Amino acid sequence: MSAVTAEHKKKALDISGISLVLVVVSSSRAKLFREGAEFRDETVEVVKKLVFEHGIELRDIYYVSDDIHEIRSITLSLAGSVDCILLSGGTGVSPSDVTIEAITPLLEKELTGFAVAFHMLSYRAIGSASILSRAKAGLLHRTAIFCLPGSPQAVELALSELILSELPHILLHVREKHVEGQ
């Protein structure tokens, strides 16, 4: 790592008060939630544990159906009011997996390296089945958005190996003021 990059990342570590919202994309879980039924969600447990360990505020958890309009609506309502939105679920290849179709048109900038790195790590963990995930990341209204598989193991992998270590760095860039002529 160059001295300039190291200094930039060091500045990123000074960012405090990072807020995150988890959106679980699952028609079955959203139905249970709306009905007030009790259920255990391992993905929620993983996210709570990891963000707490990193001093990040988990502001809220939402459950939405596998519906493009519902996914877009919650994302648009949250973008700009939190630092990070994690969407878990709906990134596969089945007809009901529409998270990527919902989010892609909204992104102002895509973080294409995230998908590459996530697929590399996933391949090491689960082998060729990793190609079934369409994980994606990008920015909308100064909010980092990550679309992850619904698997708790995939969410843990993405958070622990990629997102939590780079989120302060991403937010440093997002929060930078544009200087004319640079």
CA–CA distance from 162 to each of 28, 74, 146 (Å)? 28, 24, 11
Query: So what's the pLDDT on residue 9?
Result: 58
Find tokens 């391949």 and name the residue.
123
pLDDT tens-digit series, residues 10-27: 655 555 689 999 999 999
Percentage of the chain lying above the pLDDT 70 cut: 88
Strands 136-140 and 143-148 come out as antiparallel
CATH level 3 topology of 20-175: Molybdenum Cofactor Biosythetic Enzyme; Chain A (3.40.980)
> How far, in Å, CA of 10 to CA of 122, rounded?
28
pLDDT tens-digit series, residues 25-66: 999 999 999 999 999 999 999 999 999 999 999 999 999 999
Q: Where are the domains of the chain?
A: 20-175
Query: So what's the pLDDT on residue 176?
Result: 79
Residue 124 pLDDT level (bands cut at 50, 70, 90): very high
Q: Is the pLDDT of residue 1 over 90?
A: no
Query: So what's the pLDDT on residue 71?
Result: 98
Mean pLDDT across 91-120:
97
Percentage of the chain lying above the pLDDT 90 cut: 85
> How far, in Å, CA of 87 to CA of 100, rounded?
10
Residues 47, 51, 56, 61: what is their CA dihedral angle, to the nearest 10 degrees? 10
Query: So what's the pLDDT on residue 175?
Result: 85
> How far, in Å, CA of 138 to CA of 128, rounded?
25
Q: Is 180 helix (H, G, I), strand (E, B) or coil?
A: coil
Q: What is the 3-state secondary structure (H, E, C) of 97-160?
A: CCHHHHHHHHCCEECHHHHHHHHHHHHHHHHHHHHHCCCEEEEECCEEEEEECCCHHHHHHHHH
Residue 8 pLDDT level (bands cut at 50, 70, 90): low
